[in-house]
Amino acid sequence: MNEEIHTGLMKEGSISAKIYFLLLDKPLTQSEISKRLYSGKIQLSNIKKNLDDLEREDYVKQIGREMGKGKNYNRIYYKSTLKPLIEFVKKQVDYRSKSSKSKRKGKISSKEIKFLEFFLNSKWFKRFYSQQYLNLDLECEGKINKRGCSCPIRFFARLIEEMFVITENFGVYNFSLNKDNLNIVDFDSFIEVEKKKLSEYDKLLIKKVIKVAKECLGNYTKTNSTLDFYFKDYGVLFLPYSLSKKLSTLGRIPLTVSNAFSVALEENL
């Protein structure tokens, strides 16, 4: 991960990295980007230069002249793509597969990448770009409700690692709600349907596991709230267990979270 956060357009602290992260949430114009990041105190030519660089690498794209309430149809809006995030996943999984003897740590398949793209574009995942979540995340900076991130790769890697290590732990204890279904083109609709199939016993068990895991992690307010984000609509439990071994160790092994859920599951199952 060091290369991605120390060089190139995703370099930690760079204007291009900040712009990229901002545009993951929703489309914005150059002026809106300037106001959101620097209260309008940076020249638009500098914003445009960074947008051009990002667009050249296909990290950002123009989505045309949008019409609608509060939008001027003559203004161009920009939106981030998933390309640098997917590139990072492929590179890290490939590295792990070469350095590990485990057969479950093979290269990531095109089908798994397709699932990941649908997942990252879901409303469920995009909640992590909201100020409600950014106020909790230590990778983010700025005043309350005006926070952003200058290192999107590290932000993304930690989220994916922690989510999938939780999925992996539940799967190890034979409590997987999605063992290997990658044919999910609408993650939001999928969890809406599947969560209704959970029994009251299962819901109570999950609640107990979360409670013990929070205690193991120190019962800190921000940590507890982060776990609540992960378990919203039981979303983290509907990630494919078959994919968890590959994505739970993208940059580092989130041992603290893994151990907490291992203890909690062993105590309740």
Asked which of 31, 62, 80 is the last residue of a domain, the reply is 80
CB 53 within 8 A of CB 14: no
Identify whether residues 113 and 217 lie together within a single domain. yes
Model confidence, pTM: 0.90
pLDDT tens for each residue of 70-91: 555 557 899 999 999 999 999 9
CB 144 within 8 A of CB 241: no
Identify whether residues 148 and 232 lie together within a single domain. yes
Range of the domain at 214: 83-268
The CATH number covering residue 39 comes to 1.10.10.10
Mean pLDDT of 209-230: 96
Identify whether residues 164 and 57 lie together within a single domain. no
User: Percent helix, strand and coil across the chain, each rounded to 5?
Assistant: 60, 5, 30
Identify whether residues 185 and 167 lie together within a single domain. yes
Q: Any residues with CB less than 8 A from the CB of 119 and at least 6 apart, and which?
A: 125, 184, 187, 239
Asked which of 32, 60, 80 is the last residue of a domain, the reply is 80
Q: At residue 37, what are phi and psi to the nearest 5 degrees?
A: -90, -40
Identify whether residues 40 and 169 lie together within a single domain. no
Identify whether residues 24 and 152 lie together within a single domain. no
Identify whether residues 147 and 252 lie together within a single domain. yes
pLDDT tens for each residue of 178-211: 989 999 999 999 999 999 999 999 999 999 999 9
Per-residue model confidence (pLDDT) at position 67: 45
What's the token pair of residue 101? Answer: 């003897």
Per-residue model confidence (pLDDT) at position 259: 92
Identify whether residues 228 and 189 lie together within a single domain. yes
CB 9 within 8 A of CB 17: yes
* DSSP 8-state symbol, 185: S
Asked which of 34, 52, 80 is the last residue of a domain, the reply is 80
Identify whether residues 110 and 238 lie together within a single domain. yes
Q: Any residues with CB less than 8 A from the CB of 69 and at least 6 apart, and which?
A: none
Share of the chain above pLDDT 70, in %: 90
Identify whether residues 118 and 184 lie together within a single domain. yes
Number of domains within the chain: 2
d(CA 6, CA 164): 25
pLDDT tens for each residue of 91-132: 999 887 777 655 556 789 999 999 999 999 999 999 999 999
